[in-house]
Amino acid sequence: MDFKLTEERQMLQDGMRRLLADTVTHEGMIAASETPAGYDPALWQALTEMGVPGAMFAEEAGGFGGMGFDIMVVSEELGRAGAVVPLIESAILAGGILADAGRSAEVEEIIAGRCFAFAHGEPASRYDLAHVETRAEKTADGWRLAGAKAVVHHAPAADMLVVSARTSGDVDDEDGISLFLVPADTAEMRDYPLYGGGRAAEIRLDCTVASDALLGEEGKAFALIERANARGCAAQCAEALGLMETIKTLTVDYLRQRRQFGQPIGKFQALQHRMADVLIEIEQARSAVINLCGHLEASRAERELQVCAAKNLIGRAGKLVAEEAIQMHGGIGMTQEYALGHFAKRLTMTDHRFGDTDYHLERFIRLSAR
Amino acid sequence: MNLNFTAEQAAFRDEVRAFLDAELPARLANKVAQGKRLAKADYEEWHAILNARGWLGVNWPKEYGGTGWDAVERHIFEEETTRAHAPRILPFGLAMLGPVLMKFGNEAQKAHYLPRILNGDDWWCQGYSEPGAGSDLANVQTTAVRDGDHYVVNGQKTWTTLGQYANKIFCLVRTSKAGKPQEGISLLLVDMDTPGVEVRPIVLIDGEPEVNEVWFSNVRVPAENLVGEENKGWTYAKYLLTHERTNIAGVGFARAGLSALKRIAGEQMDGGRPLIDNPFFAAKVAQVEIDLMAMATTNLRTIAAAQSGQAPGAESSMLKIKGTVIRQQINALARQAVGPYAAPFVSEALDEGANVEPVGPAYAMPATQAYFNNRKLSIYGGSNEVQRQIISKAILEL
């Protein structure tokens, strides 16, 4: 039992914290959301040179990490800074699938900083990982893909998309889903900025790809998707934790500095007790992230139970932290100008990806009953 | 980062398990598991079994006959004993007074009292709270006036847990009214048999006389029973309370309560299906289970920090709040789970071997009793509001 970071992870954390503190501002992140890429390519380049995407892959896959606690350290720092970069989409979701499918050339490109995105969710799938209506049909020399993908984060900046499509079975079957590597410029995109920063796109697919675009085994992609999703959840929960830590700092500072009725508002017990409850839930959130990241390499049953537990708890804690912080800041917390808004919105939006609080509570009950 | 025990720690856990398999009497474990009333002799029996193994002084150093265990070993012992439904080790002599005497008592006091705590000659109770000194403990009004070789004690203590079984009480008394309230307090050891000491039971909302009032009328206490220096009692009191807060999270109790809750909800039928399959009920159980999973890790993080020599700070206050709230939620769900049979109150049914049929399932009344009894969790040991105050002071630094 040991909750200390290894020396390598400690160095990565220190390096990231310095770089991000020097380069990331909430104004910069908001401005980047209005650029075509949706994020600052120079920032992603600097993080790439530091080895951030590489830390998401095991040594066998050409990286130097790939464990749950690598994901935790990196993602928490990104959250702490409020940074918007395609770590989850490129290195964890698309990259994780490509590594599992043995595509070392593409993994190498991702480690070098190239942006990939994972086009899986659909307009009607909500959070159900098995719901895939997009079809893929075999042609003489490849595959014909047709369908629609929804809210694909960082698709506007991606060169390549990992796309899920059904090659057999019914719309909600786990069996019969396949994955394809698709050049982004063959897809029709409607792109837009996000409340939490960055850009995403609605994607319409009506294209053909070569036969070697198939990733892994035909019809058997669900296990790969679920594993990548679990790692994406871990990254997002750790990012949420980092966001909460910064929101805590901003709010505590504000409670100390802001004076009303002749004293700092932090002297008022009504606010002190609410802040204490916020702190308790942030500690709970940290424990939930540790539990999930410590079980990413466990059996599927144990891993998925921890995914549900963490996502449910982080969803509840994130809502409390964001709402209480805005309330305790008062009017200034409502403004776009002040940093809190960016962090609070980004935190709030973490409950709208990979399954929300209720989705994971229901799934936790189902998985525990087995 | 590593969530697993080391090989040595795992071996220690196995050793504790083997000990419990062999030495914990099934009669006692059954009483604890079924929520029956524990008699004085039950506690004494279990204390004696632990003492024979050298495992009663859980947080005592070896030189005083304790285990010398580190924070992780203490945690493992606590986790395993609760899982096995062992009676709890009463904290008053072992966890509270013992460490204070070791640090602040004189050699004669240590030599006399510490062995008697381990071998069961003395049953201590806590004379801290008063009607006017609850969360505001420094407001104690019980006086001790020096008269030759004695102190003469007058006043009233309250909420004295299991004082009806005790032969000794450690008391915070006021020896000076000068200066701040904290500056005139002393810690005095009193024999309950001394003339002028009177114990009156207080029946709590669960129907049990778990606590007492203790009255002092011109009680003459030998001056040698003063611990440390006169008027320095507040320092000792605070030191004692930091030990009161060990195992404050109560993870083992919460886990035992959760598995009992699931068992009950699996047996209770609700519209033709087990209650646990009612999605509304299942959601509440799952949510508290998720909170407990995280809290258990929060607790381990605190233990690991203690292991590496960090002094516990506001973390123990966070654990106190979260731990007690989780246990109270589990108690409330168990009460809800037993349905109409939560209502019958047949006190004798809690006694071992009582010739009284329980009304409804045997687990029903203990569920209600535990619910009412554990409302105390968020009140004692520094109420949860006092804990929030501690947290906000530590963090806000205002």
Q: Report pTM.
A: 0.94
Quote the CA–CA distance of A181 and A118 in Å, as a whole number: 10
Listed in sequence order, the residues at least 6 apart from A30 whose beta carbon sits closer than 8 Å to its beta carbon are A197, A336, A342
Average pLDDT score over residue span A55-68: 96
Mark whether B51 and B135 lie in a shared domain: no
Same-domain pairing of B173 and B39: no
Percent of chain B scoring above 70 in pLDDT: 98
- Summarised one tens digit per residue, pLDDT across range B246-269 is 678 899 999 999 999 999 999 999
- B16 with B140, same domain: the answer is no
pLDDT in tens, B14-70: 999 999 999 999 999 999 999 999 999 999 999 999 999 999 999 999 999 999 999
Residue B80 resides in a domain: yes
DSSP-assigned letter for residue A355 = -
A356 touching B (Cβ < 8 Å): no
Do B336 and B295 lie in one domain? The reply is yes
**Angle of helix B364-373 versus helix B315-337 axis, rounded to 10:** 150
Does A287 contact chain B (CB < 8 Å)?
A: yes
Put simply, the chain B residues between 21 and 60 with a CB less than 8 A from any chain A CB are none
Helix B315-337 and helix A269-293, axial crossing angle in degrees, nearest 10:
80
Question: Using 50, 70 and 90 to split pLDDT, how confident is the model at B352?
Answer: confident
CA-based nearest residue to B140, from B231, B221, B245: B231
Q: Do B2 and A266 touch (CB under 8 A)?
A: no
Distance CA(B307)–CA(B110), nearest Å, equals 26
Q: Chain-wide mean pLDDT for chain A?
A: 97
Residues from chain A that touch B282, judged by Cβ atoms under 8 A, are 365
Q: Is B210 a catalytic residue?
A: no
A275 touches chain B (CB under 8 A): yes
How much is the average pLDDT of A359-367? 97
A169-172 contacts at long range (C-beta below 8 A, 24 or more positions apart): A169/A219, A171/A131, A171/A132, A171/A133, A172/A128, A172/A130, A172/A131
Dihedral Cα A344, A346, A348, A354, nearest 10 deg = -160
Q: Is the pLDDT of residue A369 over 90?
A: no
CATH code 1.20.140.10 region(s) in chain A: 223-368
Residue B18 lies in a domain: yes
Q: Which CATH number fits domain A118-217: 2.40.110.10, 1.10.1740.10, 3.90.550.10, 2.170.150.20?
A: 2.40.110.10
Catalytic residue among B23, B244, B289, B352: B244
Rounded-to-10 torsion of CA A80, B312, A312, B335 = -160
A69/B298 touch (CB, cutoff 8 Å), yes or no: no
Which class in CATH covers the domain with range A7-114? mainly alpha
B223: domain CATH number is 2.40.110.10
Residue B115 located in a structural domain: no
**Alpha-carbon gap, residue B123 to B191, rounded angstroms:** 10
Burial class (CB in 10 A: 0-12, 13-18, 19+), A335: exposed
> B254 with B221, same domain?
no
Which single residue is written with the structure tokens 């398999």?
B21
pLDDT band (50, 70, 90) for residue B397: confident
Residue A19 at interface with chain B, using a CB cutoff of 8 Å: no
What gap in Å lies between CA B336 and CA B332, rounded to an integer? 6
Residue B378 and residue B259 share a domain: yes
- CB contact (8 A) between residue A2 and residue B2: yes
Q: Which domain holds residue B188?
A: 123-231
Same domain, B66 and B140: no
ipTM: 0.94
What is the CATH code for A223-368? 1.20.140.10
Would you say residue B240 lies in a domain?
no
For the segment B72-97, what is each residue's pLDDT rounded down to a tens digit?
Answer: 999 999 999 999 999 999 999 999 99
* B189: in domain: yes
Please indicate whether, in this complex, the C-beta atoms of B301 and A287 are within 8 angstroms of each other: yes
3-class secondary-structure state, position A259: strand
Structure tokens of B92? 């008053």
- Shared-domain flag, residues B225 and B264: no
- pLDDT (0 to 100) of residue A114: 98
| CB of A319 less than 8 A from some CB of B | no
Which amino acid is present at B173? V
Asked if B216 and B259 sit in the same domain, the reply is: no
Residue B294 and residue A287: Cβ atoms within 8 Å? Answer: yes
The answer to whether position B239 is within a domain reads no
| pLDDT band, very low/low/confident/very high, at B353 (cuts 50, 70, 90) | confident
For chain A, what is the radius of gyration of the CA atoms? 21
Predicted local confidence at residue B216, as pLDDT = 98
CATH 1.10.540.10 residue ranges of chain A are 7-114
